Amino acid sequence: MNLYHEFRQRSVSNGIKKETLSIALAGQPNMGKSTIFNLLTGLNQHVGNWPGKTVEKKEGEFQHNDHTIHLIDLPGTYSLSANSPEEIIARNFILQEKPDLVVAVVSAANLERSLYLVSELIVLETPLMIVLNMIDVAEQEGFTVDAKTLQAAIGVPVIPMIASRASGVRGLLDYFDQFIEGKLEFFPRLPQISADHQYVKELIDQLIDGFVPDYYPKNWASMKLLEGDSEIYDILKSVLPLERWETIDDILKQHEDAGLAIASGRYEWIERNVRAAVNRPKLGQVGLTDRIDRFATHPIGGLILLAVILGLTFWLTFSIGTPIQEWMDSKILVPLGSLAQIWLIDAPAWVISLVVDGVIGGVGAVVTFLPIIIIFFAAFGFLEDIGYMARAAYVMDNFMHWMGLHGKSFLPLFLGFGCNVPAVMGTRVIESWPARILTILLAPFVPCSARMAVIAFIAPAFFGRNAFLISWGLILSSITILMIVGVILNKIFFKGERTAFIMELPLYHIPNLRSAMLLIWQRSLSFLKHAGTIILMMSIVVWALSVFPGGDLETSFLAQIGNFVAPVGEWMGLDWKLTVALITSFMAKENAIATLGVLYGRTAEFGLLETISMTYSPAVGMAFMVVTLMFIPCAATVAVIKQETGSWKWTIVNIVLMLVVSIGAASGVYAIASRLGL
Amino acid sequence: MLNKLLELIHQGGSLTPITLAQQLDTTPTMVEMMIDELTRRGMLKVSEFEKNCDPESCGSCYLTKTCHSKTQRMWTTSAKK
């Protein structure tokens, strides 16, 4: 008899003459095997360990008609390979102890995975029954499994059951009766090995004939040998004459792909049975995911969707966040500054200046970001929760591939929209060092939430109703520049070929509102803490530099620093104040606004936005936003780049690269905008 | 079936279990099982991309404590074919 014929010889159970019947329950973990064991044995069970192992052994007995049924709950295993102690225990029990019957418990809700073990059990000589458990869960998930069709397809009895509700136990016991009485017929249809490997198996069969220990079926042993099963390999090596073993070993080395052919046969067998028995109308979650993904992961459609989603995020920001931010600025911060001046009327002038200009002007301006940044947190949290972010990364990855970039690069890069620090950290997943360096160099080009918040703060000052379109355009331009820089760097550092890249995409699902709100709350608190520490400290430093040594801003240390770097700022149309604001953003991107808050202070009439919109032209505003988007990364990101590259050289390369690109782009934008009369 | 999957993978490019399932006319679960099989056999390399921060290394980022802890699996071809 050949194990890999389509049909095994039809067999009929001979009936059980003895009084005690031994039945083994096999199955993968979490298929409900233990529930069935408990249902059948009740309290009459014994728990111990398998001999010489720390794996739990459960046995029990129950009376059924005139028979005592001894039930053994085998350890949960995914296959019968020798990969784990559980798998070795399960297969050795079936092969060596030879129970009268094996009952495989499979889940209707996860039939493909469950059937893998069955594809291995069915080739053993012990009679097999299948309990098709969790049919209710499958129905809840939108599909059904026809037990009768599955029985016809596999050729062994299939008993539907809902073990959690004790439904189907009677049916199982009826099948036990038929088995005991010898009325049950088995027509097992077995997995096939491809014809081009059949002769190899037959050759091995001949060579091991007469040497296989009695408890191992010869066909099974030769199959496991071809699969590279370490236990069977060692056993046969120890019992076969050396010369014969060397012949076998040579054959195995020449046909390493035979194992793949055997596994392939199992998957084809599973596929055939699932296709026959599962009725899956395309209405479920997978169907929905499939339909959405046809557009969401399309190379062009996916990019358009991504651009629209980014645009919607900004639209929401300007429709909801900006009005609240402006209200907080004019109705809270401006009056608060005036009140502070009244409260501190008897205090020294420097204290009033510190509180009003340094703390309220600096930190206060950043705190008004909160409504804007909450929308970013909510939008990105929502996209993550529904499962879209992985699609966005996939779509961008597809796009990056067109330009020769490495496949794994974009997933960490995508994290950069939240914060560049985890984006740099995330490059650890890239094994190739050149590809990793390239990704690290690109990560700070991704506009992080802090930089987007700065843009969202400034844009309305210069562009009013068009702020949304300008910001959206700037973000898309920033991503485009990232790609162009990536392509150029890739040509220099990493000439990678188009390697395959498979990415797991989660199913779309409705986000949990409570979790989303909790995340927004936690992140808002973190942001306020950030404002109350780093931003506060920097605001005080900027304030101190702006009032010392003589109390006059134009002759202050800050002005001296600003005037020193002003020539570079002039290329972009920035005066020394904007240039200094840009430099302070190195500590944290929000500091750019805090510094402007300190430098421009607050008047009774105007908030910060009105003041800067009256001071600078839209061309200057545009250039400032462009340079802010791509300016050198913040100190936290620089520290992580140094840590991850282990090199100052690459850290400095990154800083210089970003300086050149940001100043170059902002200068170009300023020149064009000025010529257009903005 | 595994050979067909390998052929598709070796053509290169960005793939997902869903797109591969469409090309093989099977279910994404089947593709995931076969990908796991190829990974066990050393024909694919799996990377688990942790989307959460490492508190020690990411300590300088103020969002560290609120990062999601989700794992994204990715596979690439390995030298073994």
**Interchain contact B69–A (C-beta under 8 A):** no
Please give the residue that has the higher pLDDT: either A315 or A602: A315
User: Mind listing the pLDDT tens digit for each residue in A545-597?
Assistant: 888 887 787 888 988 898 898 899 999 999 999 999 999 888 888 888 888 88
List of chain A residues whose C-beta atoms are within 8 Å of the C-beta of residue B51 = 415, 422, 426
Q: Residue B19 belongs to a domain with what CATH number?
A: 1.10.10
Q: How many domains does chain B have?
A: 1
List of chain A residues whose C-beta atoms are within 8 Å of the C-beta of residue B13 = 398, 401, 498, 500-501
Fold classified for A11-186: Rossmann fold (3.40.50)
What pLDDT does A7 receive? Answer: 46
Q: Is it the case that residue B79 has pLDDT exceeding 60?
A: no
Q: Is it the case that residue B66 has pLDDT exceeding 70?
A: no
What pLDDT does A496 receive? Answer: 56
Judged by CB atoms closer than 8 Å, whether chains meet at A398 and B14 is answered as yes
- Examine domains A11-186 and A195-266 and report if their fold is the same: no
**Interchain contact B12–A (C-beta under 8 A):** yes
Q: Is it the case that residue A159 has pLDDT exceeding 70?
A: yes
Percent of chain A with pLDDT over 70: 92
User: Mind listing the pLDDT tens digit for each residue in A82-119?
Assistant: 778 888 888 889 988 889 999 999 999 889 999 999 99
List of chain A residues whose C-beta atoms are within 8 Å of the C-beta of residue B73 = 503-504
- From the list A14, A29, A205, the residue with the least C-alpha distance to A127 is A14
What pLDDT does A398 receive? Answer: 64
Q: Which of A184-198, A225-239, A487-501 has the lowest mean pLDDT?
A: A487-501
Q: Is it the case that residue A494 has pLDDT exceeding 70?
A: no
In this prediction, residues B11-18 reach a mean pLDDT of: 80
**Are A318 and A460 spatial neighbours (Cβ–Cβ below 8 Å)?**
yes
- For residue B42, the number of C-alpha atoms closer than 13 Å in the C-beta half-sphere is 7
Nearest-CA distance B10 → chain A (Å): 6
What pLDDT does B64 receive? Answer: 66
**Interchain contact B1–A (C-beta under 8 A):** yes
Angle at A274 between CA A270 and CA A277, to 5 degrees: 140
Percent of chain A with pLDDT over 90: 19
Maximum alpha-carbon separation in chain A: 109
Q: CA-CA-CA-CA torsion for A128, A134, A139, A140, nearest 10 degrees?
A: -160
What pLDDT does A211 receive? Answer: 85
User: Mind listing the pLDDT tens digit for each residue in A332-357?
Assistant: 887 888 888 888 888 888 888 888 88
End-to-end CA distance of chain A: 87
Reported as a pLDDT band with limits 50, 70 and 90, residue B81 is very low
Q: Which of A45-59, A212-226, A243-257, A290-304 has the lowest mean pLDDT?
A: A45-59
Number of A–B residue contacts, CB under 8 Å? 158
What pLDDT does A283 receive? Answer: 46
Please give the residue that has the higher pLDDT: either A184 or A273: A273
What pLDDT does A4 receive? Answer: 40
CB atoms within 10 A of CB A409: 31
- Nearest residue, CB atoms, A271 vs list B30, B66, B77: B30
Which residue is closest to B7 within chain A, CA to CA? A500
Angle between helix axes A557-571 and A648-675 (nearest 10 degrees) is 70
What pLDDT does A6 receive? Answer: 46
- Domain of residue B57 covers 2-77
**Are A175 and A149 spatial neighbours (Cβ–Cβ below 8 Å)?**
no
Question: Which phi and psi (to 5°) does residue A55 adopt?
Answer: -85, 135
- For residue A106, the number of C-alpha atoms closer than 13 Å in the C-beta half-sphere is 30
User: Mind listing the pLDDT tens digit for each residue in B46-58?
Assistant: 877 665 556 555 6
Q: Which of A54-63, A274-283, A628-637 has the lowest mean pLDDT?
A: A274-283
Q: Is it the case that residue A299 has pLDDT exceeding 70?
A: yes
Calculate the alpha carbon distances from A611 to A219, A267, A422, A547 in Å: 86, 69, 36, 20
What pLDDT does A133 receive? Answer: 92
User: How many angstroms separate the CA atoms of A611 and A602, rounded?
Assistant: 8
List of chain B residues whose C-beta atoms are within 8 Å of the C-beta of residue A429 = 47-49, 74
In this prediction, residues B65-72 reach a mean pLDDT of: 64
- For residue A157, the number of C-alpha atoms closer than 13 Å in the C-beta half-sphere is 24
Q: Tell me the sheet residues that pair with A132.
A: A106, A160
What pLDDT does A466 receive? Answer: 87
Domain limits of chain A? 11-186, 195-266, 301-675
Judged by CB atoms closer than 8 Å, whether chains meet at B13 and A498 is answered as yes
Which residue is closest to B11 within chain A, CA to CA? A500
Mean pLDDT over each residue of chain A, to the nearest integer:
84
Q: Please name the amino acid found at residue A267.
A: Y
Contacts of A199 (CB under 8 A, 6+ apart): none
**Interchain contact A426–B (C-beta under 8 A):** yes
Give residue A460's Cα distance to chain centre. 36
Nearest-CA distance B50 → chain A (Å): 8
Q: Which of A253-262, A485-494, A601-610, A613-622 has the lowest mean pLDDT?
A: A601-610
User: Mind listing the pLDDT tens digit for each residue in A365-417?
Assistant: 788 878 888 888 888 788 878 888 888 878 877 666 665 665 567 777 877 88
Q: What is the pTM of this model?
A: 0.71
Q: Please name the amino acid found at residue A30.
A: N
Q: Is it the case that residue A3 has pLDDT exceeding 50?
A: no
Judged by CB atoms closer than 8 Å, whether chains meet at A639 and B60 is answered as yes
User: Mind listing the pLDDT tens digit for each residue in A599-612?
Assistant: 886 554 667 778 88
Q: Is it the case that residue A267 has pLDDT exceeding 90?
A: yes
Question: Which phi and psi (to 5°) does residue A15 adopt?
Answer: 90, 150
Residue at token pair 């054959």:
A251
How would you classify residue A375: left for phi > 0, otherwise alpha for psi between -120 and 50, otherwise beta?
alpha
- From the list A487, A287, A290, A304, the residue with the least C-alpha distance to A395 is A304
User: How many angstroms separate the CA atoms of A197 and A194, rounded?
Assistant: 6
What pLDDT does A403 receive? Answer: 59
Please give the radius of gyration of chain B, using alpha carbons only, rounded to the nearest integer. Answer: 16
According to CATH, what is the number of the domain A195-266? 1.10.287
**Interchain contact B42–A (C-beta under 8 A):** no
User: Mind listing the pLDDT tens digit for each residue in A6-18?
Assistant: 445 445 556 666 7
**Interchain contact A390–B (C-beta under 8 A):** yes
User: Mind listing the pLDDT tens digit for each residue in A51-70?
Assistant: 776 777 888 988 888 888 89
Question: Is the CA virtual torsion A393, A398, A403, A407 positive or negative?
Answer: positive
Number of H helices, E strands in chain B: 3, 3
